[in-house]
Amino acid sequence: MPTSLVTGGAGFLGSHICDHLLERGHRVICVDNLETGSLNNIKHIREPGFRFEMLDITDHYDIDEPVDFVYHMASPASPIDYARLPLHTLKVGAYGTHNTLGLAKKHRARFLIASTSEVYGDPLVHPQPESYWGNVNPIGPRGVYDEAKRYAEALTMAYLRQQGVDTCIARIFNTYGPRMRPNDGRAVPTFLRQALTGQPVTVFGDGSQTRSFCYVQDLIRGLVALNESEVHDPVNIGNPNEMSLLEMAELVIEITESRSELVFEPLPVDDPQVRQPDITRAKQLLGWEPEVALREGLVETVEHYTKVLASPAAR
């Protein structure tokens, strides 16, 4: 039975990875400091092969049993989180990734880092292939996240080349689904919370900026396929189905049958104008592509949010 270490395992994506790996018969060690995650995301897990360790991965840490796979997911991930935690975000990308790569080396484990489409910055190439080096503002408010992830990618490649660690890099594009925090400031949870509570739905700018939204189950399948492959180069994992944020806001209002009105607010600094993954590499190397249609994924997510918003204790 393989053992997987999931850093950030009590977060949105990390907790879904824990569920998926347990279903596949893995033992799972979930480490998290609960900075942006929650025990609510893992409290349903009853499998004896699951273990939770509350720790901060920016401090040196050790795992006292053999590990076969590492899913390194820990990092503040939403703009309001990394604006609140700029130094922590840089430290997680640097020390946290260094410590976790060291563990992968010690255990001879396969290592996956959750990188991001933000390494492309405000892209001048569309859609974005992995070969694009990006257009990032290193000193803007988003720089702490974008550069932490770019540094973490460089560190990962150095451990591969110099230390012989078996690594891979997932460049994750916008993902949505149950367990995103209603107040985490990202577009889909914000629109859903506002639409379901009858508040105005806030769209930044004129809403023409685009995103490509991937349902969480598709994303997790892609991450596991990548970590179980022999690929070392970065791979985009996301859904190429691109839409404007205005279209997404309107769709959320329609699906939730909300009476909320749309309001427009100023664009945040350095907000990327377009986002669309080129997933040719994922298709060719992993045989992976998304399967869940947007409406289907949104309906599942709405069901979850309706429950969460009705029970503040569960948030």
Q: How far is the CB of 14 from ligand NAD (least distance, A)?
A: 6
- Burial class of 267 by CB neighbour count within 10 A (0 to 12, 13 to 18, 19+): middle
Nearest to 50 by CA among 85, 99, 1, 121: 1
Question: Coil, helix or strand for 212?
Answer: strand
Type of residue found at 66? P
Helices (H) and strands (E) in the chain, counts: 10, 13
Site for ligand NAD contains 35 (CB under 6 A): yes
Asked if 271 is part of the footprint of ligand NAD (rule: CB under 6 A), the reply reads no
Per the CB < 8 A criterion, the answer to whether 85 and 31 are in contact is: no
The smaller minimum CB distance to ligand NAD, of residues 3 and 75, is found at: 75
Site for ligand NAD in 134-173 (CB under 6 A): 172
The window from 54-62, 155-163, 256-264, 287-295 that contacts ligand NAD (CB under 6 A) reads: 54-62
CA dihedral 77, 26, 96, 31 (to 10 degrees): 80
Q: Is residue 258 near ligand NAD by the rule CB under 6 A?
A: no
Q: Which pairing describes strands 110-116 and 167-172: parallel, antiparallel, or unpaired?
A: parallel
Q: How far is the CB of 7 from ligand NAD (least distance, A)?
A: 6
Q: Are 201 and 262 in contact (CB under 8 A)?
A: yes
Q: Which is nearer to ligand NAD, 74 or 253 (CB)?
A: 74
- Identify which of residues 14 and 143 has a Cβ nearer to ligand NAD in the complex: 14
Alpha carbon separation from 2 to 65, 68, 224 (Å, rounded): 11, 6, 13
Question: Is position 301 an interface residue for ligand NAD (rule: CB under 6 A)?
Answer: no
32 belongs to the binding site for ligand NAD (CB under 6 A): yes
Asked if 11 interacts with ligand NAD (CB under 6 A), we say: yes
CA 34, CA 22: separation in Å to the nearest integer? Answer: 21
- Omega prior to 127 cis, within 30 of 0: yes
For this structure, is 145 an active site residue?
yes
How far, in Å, CA of 46 to CA of 67, rounded?
A: 21
**CB of 118 or CB of 166, closer to ligand NAD:** 118
Which residues, including other chains, have CB under 8 Å from residue 152's CB and lie 6 or more apart? 93, 94, 97, 113, 115
From the list 6-14, 225-233, 268-276, 292-300, the region that binds ligand NAD by CB under 6 A is: 6-14
Site string for ligand NAD, 78-117 (x = CB under 6 A): --------------x---x-----------------x-x-
Residue from the set 6, 57, 195, 279 that interacts with ligand NAD by CB under 6 A: 57
CA distance 282 to 260: 38
Of the pair 231, 258, the CB lying nearest ligand NAD is at: 231
Residue 218 contacts ligand NAD per CB under 6 A:
no
Q: Which residue among 145, 159, 176, 305 is the active-site one?
A: 145
Should residue 8 be labelled a site residue for ligand NAD when binding is judged by CB under 6 A?
A: yes
Binding residues for ligand NAD, total number by CB under 6 A: 29
Annotated active-site positions, please?
Answer: 145
Residues that bind ligand NAD (CB under 6 A): 7-8, 10-14, 31-37, 56-58, 73-77, 92, 96, 114, 116, 172, 174-175
